[in-house]
Amino acid sequence: MWKPASLDPENWEEMRKLVHQAVDDSLDYLESIRDRAVWQPAPEDVLQQLRTPAPVDPQGARRAYDDFVSLVRPYQLGNCHPRFWGWYLGGGTVIGALGEFLATLENSSVAGGNHIGVQVEKQVLEWCRQIVGFPEEASGLLVSGASMGNFIGLAVARHAMSAIDVRTQGLAGLAFPGAFYTSVEAHSSVQRALELLGLGSRCLRKVRVTETYAIDTGELQRMINDDRAAGIHPWGIIGTAGTTNTGAVDDLTTLAAICRNEKMWFHVDGAIGAIVALSPAHRHVVRGMEEADSLTMDLHKWMQVPFEAGCVFVRQRAYHRDTFTTTPEYLERHARGISAGDFWLSDYGPQLSRGFRALKIWLTIKEHGLARYADLVDRCISLAQKFSVRLERTAELKLLAPVALNVVCFRYDPGGLRLEALNELNRELVIRLQESGVAVPSYTTLEGRFCVRVAFANHRTRLEDLDIFIAAVLGLGAELSR
């Protein structure tokens, strides 16, 4: 058998043709996405074809690509589609995808050292720092997303707040570590971070919310007082700028004031809402996040950067660095050469090898400019408001939570049904909508009421998509209640 000297193409000309064709196919797919079903499940025969052993002999690039076209592309999640509003995802950008292609083709690893990738990441972090209003001395890091951002922010909080040196002694040195407080509506990644940090979920106090689904700050203060009286140290508060369920924003200014008074750490989960600071019309909603000690922002959601992309900032750089830095001999710094430079990104998080995700962010922000993002924020909030007005005007549709940003929870209610039957009807309605290919909402439950949930974080959505969606909801709802 012929053995190649490297993994480069055997025939560069053929590979060039294939890559060009893949680019054309991809752009065609995206340009015409509106005409296709949002989502369809992969049929059994496709799954059978996927479940093959890894080939021992080469199949060749062309065949591998053809398999992608037939087995993978048609069954993707669908979040590029203008009527995908489930969970909370971004729609991606072409230039972002180009950035990912360039970064991976040239295969940079951005741990640290004296190369341009580090400088591009620094620059992107600088842009994002200015968006969220953190001080110039703050440190930052690009991460896979807000889950990792919350993990890093809370790891720094644990390091900063514990009276012992947690890095050497671990938590075994403490009888009860300390308590963190967040609302019952906070994202599950907050609890997971505390569990992974060895604090255990017993250290997390979940505070009830008010009728706006934002944290009840009076109740929070009472819980802090009770813990202090019982000899437990309140370590930190996690505020949410835009909850996943309803888009509610905690009163961040009050949370910052409580943290100042009580000498607690203030972390803000801005996965959804941090970008709202770009909009002059809406930035007052997230006021107070700039006072946080640490803050997480997602770039692959409302900012539309292709997955994965998020960032975390820490007000006091020294705490951030001291939480993670370790310098083995093989990474020692020198004044010159590839290991020069004192800003090693691997000093600010758990990863050493890191992808060059900064490039797709840098290109996306350069192509579109921040003004366009401000406009996108306003447009999505306006869609949510227009949608809730439509709900109010339609007898069978009921809004189930106040709309703070771009998330709307509602249900189909033909009248005369008890709660259980109503929940059952709406559960089936969401699944039928997804299976219809017309739109993809997701669902949640608020105070026992099953909701159809739509998050308008998609840059391709137009007003007419609301009409198409409402018609589908009313049609399916009527069919199901018959």
Strand, coil or helix: 308 = coil
Span interacting with ligand PLP, options 31-39, 50-58, 268-276, 327-335, rule CB under 6 A:
268-276
Is there binding between residue 240 and ligand PLP (CB under 6 A)? yes
Handedness of CA 368, 370, 375, 379 (dihedral sign): positive
Shortest distance (Å) from residue 153 CB to ligand PLP: 11
Identity of the residue, 90 or 234, whose beta carbon is nearer to ligand PLP in the bound complex: 90
Helix axes 94-105, 358-393, angle to 10 degrees: 150
Question: In the complex, which residue's CB is closest to ligand PLP?
Answer: 145
Shortest distance (Å) from residue 144 CB to ligand PLP: 7
Q: For residue 53, give both structure tokens.
A: 């052993």
Q: For residue 264, give both structure tokens.
A: 């607690």
Other C-beta atoms lying within 10 Å of the C-beta of residue 109: 15
Side-chain-side CA neighbours of residue 55 (13 Å): 9
Identity of the residue, 271 or 473, whose beta carbon is nearer to ligand PLP in the bound complex: 271
Is there binding between residue 185 and ligand PLP (CB under 6 A)? no
User: Which one of residues 81, 187, 267, 354 is an interface residue with ligand PLP (CB under 6 A)?
Assistant: 187
Is the distance from CB of 314 to CB of 156 less than 8 angstroms?
yes
Is there binding between residue 216 and ligand PLP (CB under 6 A)? no
Can you tell me which residue has the tokens 């709802």? 477
Identity of the residue, 86 or 310, whose beta carbon is nearer to ligand PLP in the bound complex: 310
Cα 184 from Cα 275, distance rounded (Å): 23
Identity of the residue, 250 or 465, whose beta carbon is nearer to ligand PLP in the bound complex: 250
Residue 427 makes CB contacts below 8 A (sequence gap 6+) with: 443, 450
Identity of the residue, 142 or 397, whose beta carbon is nearer to ligand PLP in the bound complex: 142
Shortest distance (Å) from residue 179 CB to ligand PLP: 20
Handedness of CA 292, 156, 149, 214 (dihedral sign): negative
> Which strand (E) or helix (H) includes residue 444?
strand 442-446
- 219 preceded by a cis bond (ω within 30 of 0): no
Shortest distance (Å) from residue 392 CB to ligand PLP: 26
In the region spanning residues 136 to 175, those forming contacts with ligand PLP, defined by CB under 6 A, are: 145-147
Span interacting with ligand PLP, options 11-19, 240-248, 334-342, 470-478, rule CB under 6 A:
240-248
Shortest distance (Å) from residue 98 CB to ligand PLP: 22
Q: How many residues does the chain have?
A: 482
Residue 213 makes CB contacts below 8 A (sequence gap 6+) with: 185, 243, 245, 246, 248, 401, 402, 404, 446
Is there binding between residue 88 and ligand PLP (CB under 6 A)? yes
Is there binding between residue 311 and ligand PLP (CB under 6 A)? no
Shortest distance (Å) from residue 121 CB to ligand PLP: 18
Torsion on CA atoms 85, 90, 95, 100, rounded to nearest 10: -130
User: Which one of residues 269, 293, 413, 465 is an interface residue with ligand PLP (CB under 6 A)?
Assistant: 269
Burial track 8-25 (b if 16+ CB lie within 10 A, e otherwise): eeeeeeeeeebeeeeeee
Is there binding between residue 310 and ligand PLP (CB under 6 A)? yes
Closest C-alpha to 184, from 204, 200, 198: 204
Shortest distance (Å) from residue 290 CB to ligand PLP: 18
In the region spanning residues 408 to 437, those forming contacts with ligand PLP, defined by CB under 6 A, are: none
Shortest distance (Å) from residue 357 CB to ligand PLP: 12
Closest C-alpha to 33, from 476, 459, 463: 459
User: Which one of residues 38, 124, 271, 408 is an interface residue with ligand PLP (CB under 6 A)?
Assistant: 271
Shortest distance (Å) from residue 239 CB to ligand PLP: 11
Q: Which residues of the shown chain bind ligand PLP in the complex (CB under 6 A)?
A: 88, 145-147, 187, 189, 240, 243-244, 269, 271-272, 298, 310
